[in-house]
Structure 1
Amino acid sequence: MATGKRGLITAALTVVCAVTVLSAPGTAFAAPAPTPDPSPSASATRPAPATNKELEAVRQRLEELYHDAAVATDAYNAAEEKADQQSAQLVALAKKITAGRERLAELKDRMGAAAAAQYRTGGLPPEAQLALSDDPSEFLDGTGRIRQGERATGHVLTEITRTQQDLEQYAKDASAQWRKLEANRKARAAARQRINQRITEAEELEKQLEKEEKERLARLERQAAQKAQTAWLGTGVLDGSTAGASEQGKKAVEFAAAQQGKPYVWGAEGPDSFDCSGLTSQAWASAGRTIPRTSQQQWAQLPHVDVADMRPGDLVVYFEDASHVGMYIGDGMIVHAPRPGRTVTVAGAGSMPILGVVRPDA
């Protein structure tokens, strides 16, 4: 059935896997040969529908592609957040450099004024001024002022040296921050390319399916999620769980639930679209608490709680690499932004592999 639907699905999976390798930077490959026109007898034959086994293979491949896109999205978001911090540090350093230059100019003006004053007195040493003075007491008063001036000049010289050293250090720090900012720019660009590539591959794979096959694929996805949810609840992990949400948790849940129907867009933090961690971070921001931007940072930096003890408002983190996150809303359910092509929705908390639970307001 190489010319039937089954062959198309198999070929599509093969092409998607091949594109993953061929699209790596620096890889060159020849243009594909033109596809020969099908014979009249072949084109007249209606392609056979994909089997459930083939659709299951498509479903698993789509999961892999969208998971890879989610990992790249987290990397992009982290680089974006870091770049914002580095930009702010560069601005602060620029202000310090400007202030330091102004201070250095002021100090040099003071030194110039002191030199001019010495020139006006003829630049004579104190001993010569004593010999030429008609009034020794006036000379002694002048000597005291000279010594004060010398001490003041010494202080100015010391401050000039220190200011120059500070300026040199600020310049080095600014140069280091600029290099970090440039590295982050490249990291964001690489992550963006990987995200778009994976999403495009997934969309191309889905395009190979007929309407009826897409409906069956959606049913397979729902069945897989329901099977996982049932198995998770069957462990009794939530038996006897009665923990209620905190006041902030209630506000966060209300915000997240109100976003249902809005599309998933990678890197988005609202108000019209969200990615998974954009939804959870903005929900908690609406409740008055700032949390890390990405799912991996949320997992790494927020306090962990046992799954059995989770309460509405807690964040459920998924997969071993913490690449997805949703907000627990109670009764074994979460609200989350699933993936490209989907909208913010409610799902079973156990419908995906749970890594753990974190509590923003612990």
Structure 2
Amino acid sequence: MNNYEAASSSPAPLLVLDGLKKHYPIRRGLLNRSVNSIKAVDGVDLTILPGETLGLVGESGCGKSTIGRSIVGLEKPTEGRILFEGTEISSLSNREMTDFRSKLQIVFQDPYSSLNPRKSIEDLLAEPLLVHRIVPKNEVSSEVDRLLEIVGLPTTSKHRYPHEFSGGQRQRVGIARALSLRPKLIVCDEPVSALDVSIQAQVMNLLKDLQQELNLTYLFIAHGLGAVKYMSDRIAVMYLGKIVEIGTAEELFRNPKHPYTKALLDAFPIANPRLRLNARTVLQDDAINANPSSHGCRFYSRCPVATAQCREQEPELIGDGDHASACFFSN
């Protein structure tokens, strides 16, 4: 496992991804034989430290959500290890994973589809409390009230159903449900991308406040750089199953090294019209339709500075604890 993810003086990591891979077979023919595979995640090493927010950014189809779903046990890795507080959880059975459910939770992108429309908010929040025996039965109702209060919803709303709430309110219910098990790590899988801009700010501020109050750790997955910069202590940039750059949020925005990171930053809206006239990298096509090199750099077909070396060799992620990049021409 690489050691670039965190500085040597950092505390012991809460979560470690060691060579994580998730491949989906492509099957064809009458015999349903596997003829190829989609490498959604293809050898990812990451650490997340207690109390920090690690941002994971990239275009749609790069494997970000697959990493998040693998961490919480919704996907089984093809290879590699996931260690939580030193315990390998990637190979645990569903029954064995139950003990870790209360420590690892996820907030989904679409709050409506993640909430059972046939259950009231009280039932939705009470269910995990009862299943995991977080509080005695006679205290469940008061605990539901407490959860609603900390996410900024009135306790009287517990008798309503998901369709009676706005998108931002539903996401607050999703956050309350994740908090109900008193987790240490929450995977935020694009939690604000389906919300209006003004509501996005409210939800992100809520997440930051909760992190301080409850000593939470986040993996914040998004494709919007503004949200990632605001939320994250460190940022990992992902492209077609690989981490191509990682560093502190300040350093990565100030001095991006990988051409893909630079292109993502160039696509970020600029308020000052004079600065818009500067030369900006515009990526052709998108990640899903890209034709990556079979054994070279995955970004080769879209990279503005690619050479023959990039087509033949895959660069490794090299750097220190503050900043690392997988590019032969990082400056």
Q: Could you state the TM-score of these two structures normalised by the residue count of structure 2?
A: 0.21
Tell me which protein shows more helix as a share of its residues. Answer: 1
Structure having the higher Rg: 1
Tell me which protein shows more strand as a share of its residues. Answer: 2
Q: Could you state the TM-score of these two structures normalised by the residue count of structure 1?
A: 0.20
Larger RCO: 1 or 2 (CA < 8 Å, sep 6+): 2
